[in-house]
Structure 1
């Protein structure tokens, strides 16, 4: 390829990435608007933006229930869904690079199960579901995520070498074991209503989201994006293997430790506010790679945007699909993600 052709190719790629980013940004604004508009009481889009504009300008709340519904009930939930979705997209992208397996995500590798166990242990000890965004529950979820990830990694590396499929199988096994122990802990709760609340939360729920729940996960996701983006080039090198990455000057051991810490922190904080939501971290990186390629300098921010769009849409479906009750978010993502996972597994087996 000539120098002129290479420059032209990079220009086309840059334009394409910018176009994808613009489309995702517009889709996110539209998804947030629809999420706030739809519900048991539908509110016109124009009125939604009127209420939001009035609140952002510092005006006093208007009398009536619609102002309350838009600003106090639906807006914080929609924004929390965007933050959690962005974080799951980031974690999925980072984990897939870390283990060099496009079928990996925090849910399949048991990281989410470890985080759930840590959070539930703290809740059962007295924190309560309503305070799940507190520092104590987030810290416990982080510790559980880190411990489960380390255990899965150790099992996958037994005997030397590294087998990506063995890592996935170890993750599924550890995840199921931790989920079973987590369910046992939930059953120890004496209050039947709290037991139902914890079980519903474990399947993924953003119900009861408030403005006070947003700062911690938003700050952690923003920090995670900055840290991972700064390591985009080493992540690209890691995909080519440890020896190649080391030959390019990457401290592989240090990079893996950093990725362990960042992905576990993100997963722990996200699980603490939303429960374990599967398949988002699996689907989003795949879609983004198809659109913009595998360069993590582009893939990470676009995965965050796409994850935010996806989870806002899924949460809206979960909240409005049934008129009598809310569907757990994890149920909706499983119905979408499980067939996609089977398709990806079938594709990988065909190409062997």
Structure 2
């Protein structure tokens, strides 16, 4: 009997080892699954050109210059290396006035209003502003940066802030809007900041989510949409207070009106997320998605608020009291 004892022990060890391995595999699969979609549907590079919405603001001065070309942007295989400036002071603002930039070497065919909602994240804003200007000036687009700041201490109302910012962008006659979180920085210079004929979710691959898409209907982070489409779906809901929910409800508005959410390839859509303290969660966000009322809640029915505009060289600051 004694001579079989080591073998029995070995068999017990093998069984235990197998159980541990199986449990580890299950844990790994669940861990990976929680980070979403590995391979989502996207527009191939060779089809991007015909999807572009090439409309410049009437405020862009016409000239005899040749039209700007954009295939050299989105066709890049090897992205540029982007240096993250530590502050606005460590930055050369050449060509920027009142938050706006227009290329001088060619006539832009793309005009974009970049809308950033914000509160108490000065360190992130100091990184984002110079970074995004450096990024966008290389793309030969006409753009203006709007920072919409909620100044009170009430629950953060991201949807309302976007709706307010869009009103200013519409007054400046921008045909294309980009909703942009202040904590996201694009990593691939081929990520052309423009609208398509359909809304585009631009930040589909974020490092926080291991560069995977958490779920296919996600529109949060960075999204481009034509101004006429934004008004058609009545903008964002004004009722989501705190963190979460407003982006998912916005996606419902998009699909309800027969629009599709498009994306560029994953390697183009890469972003890094700056570390930050999250706003207080909206505990009712899931329940609010059950019975949305987009016809009476949005751009056409904003609650009382007070706004003041302050123009800086690098951005137009819109201060909001809700």
Considering Cα pairs closer than 8 Å and 6+ residues apart, tell me whether 1 or 2 has the greater RCO. 1
User: Do they fold alike, i.e. is TM over 0.5?
Assistant: no
Q: TM-score, normalised by structure 1?
A: 0.28
Q: TM-score, normalised by structure 2?
A: 0.30
- Higher Cα Rg: structure 1 or 2? 2
Which structure is higher in strand share? Answer: 2
